Amino acid sequence: MAVLVIADHNNVELNAATRNAVTAALELSSNVSVLVTGYQCQAVVDQVAKIEGVGQVLVASHPSQQHFLAENQSLCISSIAKEFSHVVAPATSMGKSVMPRVAAQLDVQQITEITKIFDENTFERPIYAGNAFIKLVSSDAIKVITVRATKFVSAIDGNNVAPTKDIEANFDAQLSKFIGAESSKSDKVELTTAKVVVSGGRGLASEENFGLIHQLAEKLNAGVGASRAAVDAGFAPSDCQVGQTGKVVAPDVYIAIGMSGAIQHLAGMKDSKMIIAINKDPDAPIFQVADIGMVGDLFEVVPEMIAKLA
């Protein structure tokens, strides 16, 4: 049984969620290859080759693969998928966009965002925003899978360097073009891998006030998260959004400030090891999942925390 992992990256840095997908792949088989599609992405190939357990790195480098356009990337993945029993990607925006296309091209039903592997055919995945889990057996010949990163440990670097092999990469469907990207500042702690996350909700009331969240996060070397309501209101950029349709995080400590705890938000953070909630409404649903709750005005509590954490 040979398993293929699709690397998520930006041609320079490997997205850490790829390492979790490698761990999932290694649960399925010891024969794991990683495909790096992209362009001028040798730095990423080098990072992948060092990961413990990776047997070989397949490199599909071509301008058509530079921007991870789903139409082009899926054709590349499909072209080699039949050599594998499982094709696995992290459930990042890349994995979510590309893998269903791969699955349809192979005529298989994708298994989205698995949280557990029982055997090569049997998996667990969340439904209803994580309010239920479904254990399913897939009968497809090739399993196309995306992996919830927080449910699998991150594969670390080993002592060996896996061999690399170039594969055909010229798949230009001419259906889409990359125009541009707006990325948030990279000096912040990465939300999905942070040990501590400080997250703000609608209770912050303004973008200016959301600065309190950044100040507290800075003190704690924490990632900054936000509820959808806070993002929609413009208090925080969209890549901070934690929830059913935003990022899924599971830090050691999650500090939820001024957020009610809607089902959709809880879906993205309730696997955190410790949840701390600060909200003036004692009936806020967030207190039902919080390990430590404090009913209070965040505009008093948070500045005091910042001062006392000096």
Partner 1 sequence: MKVLVAVKRVVDPNVNIRVKADGSGVDIDNVKMSPNPFDETAVEAAVQLKEAGVVSEVVVASIGSQKSQDVIRAALAMGADRGIHVSTDADLEPLAIAKVLKQLVELEQPDLVFTGKQAIDDDSNQTGQMLSALLNWSQGTFTSKLSFENDWVNVTREVDSGRETIAVKLPAVLTVDLRLNSPRFASLPEIMKSKKKPVETKELTSFDLQLDSRFKVQLVSAPETRNQGIKVTSVDELIAAAKLTAKGN
User: Where in 99-118 is the site for partner 1 (CB under 8 A)?
Assistant: 99-105, 107-113
Span of 46-54, 80-88, 151-159, 220-228 interacting with partner 1 by CB under 8 A: 220-228
| CA–CA gap between residue 272 and residue 289 (Å, rounded) | 10
Shortest Å distance, C-beta 217 to partner 1 = 11
Among 182, 187, 208, 283, binds partner 1 (CB under 8 A): 182
* CB-nearer residue toward partner 1: 117 or 162: 117
Q: Which of 12, 168, 221, 281 binds partner 1 (CB under 8 A)?
A: 221
Stretch that binds partner 1, among 36-44, 54-62, 207-215, 274-282 (CB under 8 A): 274-282
Residue 309 binds partner 1 (CB under 8 A): yes
How far from each other are the two terminal CA atoms of the chain, in whole angstroms? 54
Sequence-ordered list of residues with C-beta below 8 angstroms from that of 179, at least 6 positions apart, any chain: none
Stretch (H or E) spanning 193: none
HSE-up of residue 262 (Cα within 13 Å, Cβ side): 14
d(CA 50, CA 57): 10
Near partner 1 by CB under 8 A: residue from 175, 187, 208, 283: 175
Nearest in space to 169 (alpha carbons), one of 63, 60, 73: 60
If one asks whether residue 172 binds partner 1 (CB under 8 A), the answer comes out as no
Number of residues that bind partner 1 (CB under 8 A): 94
Helix (H, G, I), strand (E, B) or coil at 36: strand
Which residues are registered as beta bridge partners of 14? 9
Please report how close the Cβ of residue 36 comes to partner 1 at its closest, in angstroms.
18
Closest CA to 155 of 253, 49, 274: 49
Residue 65 has which token pair?
């693969």
Rounded to a whole number of angstroms, the minimum distance from the CB of residue 179 to partner 1 is 4
Q: Binding partner 1 by CB under 8 A: which of 126, 201, 203, 258?
A: 126
Please select the residue that binds partner 1; options are 180, 187, 208, 283, rule is CB under 8 A.
180
**51 to 90, contacts with partner 1 by CB under 8 A?**
67, 69-71, 74
CB burial of 121-139 (b: ≥16 within 10 Å; e: otherwise) equals eebbbbeebbeeeeeeebe
- Which residue type, as a one-letter code, is found at position 281? D
With binding defined as CB under 8 A, does residue 10 bind partner 1?
yes
Smallest distance from partner 1 to CB 53, Å: 24
